[in-house]
Amino acid sequence: MKPLVPLSVQFFLLTFATGLLAAPQIKPLFDKTTKLEADTTVLTGEALITRIGDRVRDRHAREKQFKAYDHFLSFYWEERTLGIEIIDRVARGGKDITVNITARTELDGPNFRCFFRGINTVAEYHHNGIAKPVGDKQYTITLRHNPSEDRALRMGDRMEFELSPFLADPRNGRTAYYGTAFLYIIGSGIVPWRGEGERLESIPLPGSALLGGGTTLPFQYSNEPAHRFKQMAGNISPASAQPFVLGRRLHHTDFGDGRHSEQPNPSYSAQAGKLGPQYVARSCIACHVNNGRALPPEIRSPMHQSVIKLAPKDGLGSALQPQSVKSPPEATAILAGWEIINAKYADGTPYTLRKPRYAFDGAQPRQFSVRLTPQLVGLGLLEAIPESVILARVDVEDDDGDGISGRPQIVPDPETGQRRLGRFGHKAGQAHLRHQVAVALNSDMGVSTAVLPKPDGSAEAETPELADLDLRQLTRYISTLGVSARRNLEDPGALRGEKLFSSASCDKCHARRVRTSAFHPLAELRSQVIEPFTDLLLHDLGPGLADTLGEHAASGAEWRTAPLWSIGLTDGVSDGEAYLHDGRARSLAEAILWHGGEAKVSRELFRGMPADDRAALVRFLKSL
């Protein structure tokens, strides 16, 4: 049954579907008038020029025994990012490559190592050179020789490199650091890599692994599964490197007392005292633990990592805020227990599903929707998908007869009032990542911004507490988190599961491949071929997943298709598995078995598969 939709929305959707709607009705986020940051790759008559950002590291990429490569060190936002420019003249018939380094503080003989060797140690390179100072905080080194093969540089040479920035006189913290292990292909540019053979010699990842396009991260060999969703995009621009770490600091800051979640980092006193008065959590990272999915609490425990969306008529604002700085909180939502549902696969194998039951201590909302925090990676790329690409998949009346009738969520821009295409949140309630971040600050922490100056539930605006520069840095941080590469690339089970995923029509909604806009302002997000496995449209998933509250035009049964990239890393990042909007599914199989409505046919195809096929399909999802 189709969800009930207001007449005004029906008219919009019908006119869109028949091609009668004028283009200005939906204002695109980015177009040819958008101001673009400088490209990170430029081909001139003399050279291929590649520019990339970097940050300091504690240890080396392949040192799994230390577990100290992907984590962030103290004072990571102070003087500890760099810009690297590679001027590759070999790409244009020349004989050398110049590497220029721009630092944020004076360096003491930055060490540039390249052409991986890995014989005596896993951090050994054939070439070890010292970059020479050429200006204020600028250094350079030129390469003319491939020492791994004792010959001149050639097109296609694999030049892995690592920069060690030794800080001459930092304001705080230590002086000696390592850098990221990048793989540069002479004549082509920076590429994500994986290790091959006993020494894990770096080779480019194939296109099938690049779920996030150029933002895709290399395979991880440092044994730090919890840190996988915290990394800079693999192609991060020099312009984004410092805003990334400044935004990260905000992400980890307690807006009550200014404390940083990672000790012994100092408090951010300028952000203290902004919390509340009502709130869900004290910091972004408190809910988005490790930037991954949250897990449901224990039974009879408060739900402090969930957003409880509310109906305006309940008078409690847009979301329940169970904690307070001074006065008693509005109410507390409690996981009262689980309703257990017993069922069987077509072959007779039993399985159980669980459905959450909630209780409220305090105000009793009549309508509500529980939303656990989702993973944060890839959001900038989702923002960069052109509206035309998303709208091309709309099939409101199921004209093709496949049972799938995805439709767009149209939302007002909170800053301009323009009609935008929603794409963020479980019901696509926000169009712009900046707005999604501002909503979270406002309703989850009680922190006002220029986007939303009114505290949640209040009619009176206040002076924005978070400066717009801070909001931009926090948004850029989330925008430029790297997407993990697909794994198990030659695994027969995963490859068979990929075919089963398609034959079960899962890809009708979890759409696979798309190219991002050429007009996104951030260079690392522009014109990327990505595989997010979502169409970003609303779909009716049936009464089993429905709640009592809609959002904008979405009914309680409609949900935006969730992206699947990086889903296979959930257990390591979140220290457990919980899927769907409220975390009821304890496994990916359970998540599939909850799909109804438009996805009922796909669910039943999965239920009807032999056990080996079901396992293969899940194995494919785990490889993403």
Does residue 14 have a pLDDT over 80? no
CA distances from 386 to 28, 32, 505 (A): 8, 12, 24
In a domain, 334, yes or no: no
What confidence category does residue 18 fall into, taking pLDDT thresholds of 50, 70 and 90? very low
> What pTM did the predictor assign?
0.95
Residues 539-560: tens digit of each pLDDT: 999 999 999 999 999 999 999 9
pLDDT of amino acid 20: 32
pLDDT of amino acid 13: 43
Q: Is the alpha carbon torsion for 431, 567, 194, 228 positive or negative?
A: positive
Reduce the DSSP state of residue 357 to 3 states and report it: strand
pLDDT of amino acid 528: 98
pLDDT of amino acid 603: 98
pLDDT of amino acid 592: 98
Residues 571-623: tens digit of each pLDDT: 999 999 999 999 999 999 999 999 999 999 999 999 999 999 999 999 999 99
Number of domains making up the chain: 1
Residues 53-84: tens digit of each pLDDT: 999 999 999 999 999 999 999 999 999 999 99
Cα angle value 622/561/335 (rounded, 5°): 80
Does residue 22 have a pLDDT over 50? no
In a domain, 590, yes or no: no
User: Mean pLDDT in the chain?
Assistant: 94
Does residue 12 have a pLDDT over 80? no
What confidence category does residue 5 fall into, taking pLDDT thresholds of 50, 70 and 90? very low
Residues 261-278: tens digit of each pLDDT: 999 999 999 999 999 999
In a domain, 5, yes or no: no
In a domain, 411, yes or no: no
What confidence category does residue 459 fall into, taking pLDDT thresholds of 50, 70 and 90? confident
What is the number of alpha carbons within 13 Å of residue 325 lying toward its C-beta? 16
User: pLDDT over 90 for what percent of the chain?
Assistant: 91
In a domain, 127, yes or no: yes
Name the one residue in this structure whose structure tokens are 């998303």. Answer: 390
In a domain, 227, yes or no: yes
Which residue segment(s) compose the domain that 147 sits in?
41-236
Residues 490-500: tens digit of each pLDDT: 999 999 999 99
Name the one residue in this structure whose structure tokens are 């902004």. Answer: 274
Q: For the chain, what is the radius of gyration of the CA atoms?
A: 25
Does residue 468 have a pLDDT over 60? yes
Does residue 2 have a pLDDT over 50? no
Nearest to residue 566, comparing CAs of 122, 231, 273? 231
In a domain, 546, yes or no: no
pLDDT of amino acid 84: 98
pLDDT of amino acid 3: 38
In a domain, 91, yes or no: yes
User: pLDDT over 70 for what percent of the chain?
Assistant: 96
Q: Are 573 and 426 in contact (CB under 8 A)?
A: no
Beta-sheet pairing, 41-43 with 48-55: antiparallel
Residues 345-372: tens digit of each pLDDT: 999 999 999 999 999 998 889 899 999 9
Average pLDDT over residues 335-342: 98
| CA gap 623, 30 in Å, rounded | 32
